[in-house]
Amino acid sequence: MKYYLGIDIGTFESKGILADQHGNIVASAAKPHRMLVPQAGWAEHRAVEDWWDDFTFIARKLLADGKVDPASIRAVGTSAIGPCMLPVNEAGEPLMNAVLYGVDTRAAQEIDELASKIGAKRILDHCGNALTSQSVGPKILWLKRNRPDIFAKAHKILTSTSYLVFRLTGKFVIDHYTAANNAPLYSAERRAWSNELASDIIPPERLPDIAWTTDIVGVVSAKAARETGLAEGTPVICGTVDAAAEAISVGVLEPRDMMLMYGSTIFIIAVTSKRVKDSRLWYAPWLFPGQHASMAGLATSGTLTHWFRETLARDLEPAQAMDMLVAEANASPAGAKGLVLLPYFSGERTPIHDTHAKGTIIGLNLTHTRGDLFRSLLEGIAFGTNHILETYDDVGETPRNIFAVGGGTKNKVWVQATSDISGKTQVLHSKSMGASYGNAFLAAIAVGDAKPQDIKTWNPIASEFIANTEHAEIYRKHYDVFRNLYERNRDLMKLLG
């Protein structure tokens, strides 16, 4: 029997699976970790403790639980949160905590300065993306200005997946899909690093080499074999961002296929027939040559449910708290008895790209319960998701298929509210291990044991969420309030700092 190892490092948890050649999950494992928030607007991980130690723990547990000979693993695929910014020295040792993706807004000043200096249209045309909190380039400039000693020692600037691949193989590489998030340092036209727009940030040679996701970029080294339990010489693919691997795991393959990921953030990936140029959305080459993808994401989603539980549900038993909160929310009617919430607790990413946006709730009265508040939070995230879906309509890429994935799909109130508000059907697949499962499948593709279309037999459709039309009028009114609430208060939000 042939086997494939897939491991993914998420914002709050790492997961891994061992799959056989038919797509059956032989073993699975998970390990939690924390997101560090040293100050407002910052978000960090520890690369060794949170990324590599999780990887080695999960790899060893999978091998033990699956009772699989490491030599029978055909290839290793890995993914992680992205895009991140991690400076490392020549030995690949981290020089500081990793700066996370768009939820970290520390480089707001650098974003504004670069956009003003270069010009928003020129950046969008050259890079495929506007400069936002998701962009790595401004964060590297922040590093250069604010931590010059670390910047001077940095041999390479890595992201999360590229750090894992380095620990496995000793190679500094990054996939095209992830590299495209390094605006203004990536040329979407040439599919290469470029310092044409900002030559003063960092030389291209201090960034990883670029490859395609399923390229075999190296093999497990002797040192990595000792640490992980994997066989020395096992092929390792370039890998990608967690969301992209998760999209593959549910069959996002053709134009108008869309993944809607319910995780720490809502993240959306749509395969498109052409390169979409719109500053409200993100662009990247898709995982395979000749394909395009358009992405979007909220800044806080599942993270908000964690915050709510930890601040407003301390009386509940931790192991049962989320289920009980969902039950309380389910007891609240659609519209949460007149509450509307803006989920902008860490600013907002797409489509408004406003680092100054603030979490807001309107409509409170003395009859409201914790269940009403939690339902309004879930509906607020769903309103933000609908704002994104409307943006895809605007650019002519209305999805044909929406595949819902991620741990948040267990929260039926949240998923159903999203369908009710958008009026769109969401499809769920039988296997929900997400990015780690996608990594194993990508590893199978890399060694020629599978073709992309085989994911339909590896992971068939299981169920769907259909919009409840009885709630349409309530949600239409609340959505109007949601959109106007931000527009009328964004200047006040900025004044709050």
Name the one residue in this structure whose structure tokens are 């699989």.
68
Number of H helices, E strands in the chain: 16, 24
pLDDT of residue 202: 98
pLDDT of residue 433: 81
The tokens describing 54, both together, are 């999780």
pLDDT of residue 221: 98
pLDDT of residue 340: 98
Residue % of the chain over a pLDDT of 90:
93
Per-residue pLDDT tens over the stretch 186-207: 999 999 999 999 999 999 999 9
Burial group, residue 108, by CB count within 10 angstroms (0-12, 13-18, 19+)? middle
pLDDT greater than 80 at residue 117: yes
pLDDT of residue 103: 85
Question: How far apart are alpha carbons 312 and 321 in whole angstroms?
Answer: 10
Neighbours of 168 (CB within 10 A): 27
Question: How far apart are alpha carbons 432 and 425 in whole angstroms?
Answer: 18
**Contact at 8 Å (CB) between 405 and 434?**
yes
Question: How far apart are alpha carbons 79 and 238 in whole angstroms?
Answer: 9
Stated as kind and residue range, the H or E segment containing 185 is none
pLDDT of residue 458: 97
pTM of the model: 0.86
Query: For the residues 225-229, what does the mean pLDDT come to?
Result: 98
Length of the chain: 497
pLDDT greater than 90 at residue 160: yes
Measuring CA to CA, how many Å separate 393 from each of 236, 270, 451, 490? 38, 12, 31, 24
Give the residue, 11 or 342, on which the prediction is more confident: 342
Per-residue pLDDT tens over the stretch 6-17: 999 999 999 999
pLDDT of residue 432: 80
Per-residue pLDDT tens over the stretch 234-267: 999 999 999 999 999 999 999 999 999 998 889 9
User: Reduced to 3 states, what is the DSSP secondary structure of residue 407?
Assistant: helix
Per-residue pLDDT tens over the stretch 287-330: 999 999 999 999 999 999 999 999 999 999 999 999 999 999 99
Question: How far apart are alpha carbons 350 and 335 in whole angstroms?
Answer: 23
pLDDT greater than 80 at residue 333: yes
**Helices 302-312 & 318-331 angle (0-180, nearest 10):** 100
pLDDT greater than 90 at residue 82: no
pLDDT of residue 143: 98
Question: How far apart are alpha carbons 441 and 136 in whole angstroms?
Answer: 28
Q: Assign 497 a pLDDT band (cuts: 50, 70, 90).
A: confident
**Domains along the chain with CATH numbers:** 3-243 (3.30.420.40), 251-433+467-497 (3.30.420.40)
Dihedral sign from CA coordinates of 450, 453, 454, 455: positive
Q: Assign 355 a pLDDT band (cuts: 50, 70, 90).
A: confident
Report strand pairing: 257-262 vs 401-405: parallel
pLDDT of residue 264: 85
Question: How far apart are alpha carbons 112 and 131 in whole angstroms?
Answer: 8
Report strand pairing: 266-272 vs 257-262: antiparallel
pLDDT greater than 80 at residue 20: yes
Computed over every residue of the chain, the mean pLDDT equals: 96
pLDDT of residue 265: 87
Neighbours of 310 (CB within 10 A): 11
Q: Assign 75 a pLDDT band (cuts: 50, 70, 90).
A: very high
pLDDT of residue 343: 98
Measuring CA to CA, how many Å separate 111 from each of 59, 104, 160, 296, 387? 38, 12, 22, 18, 23
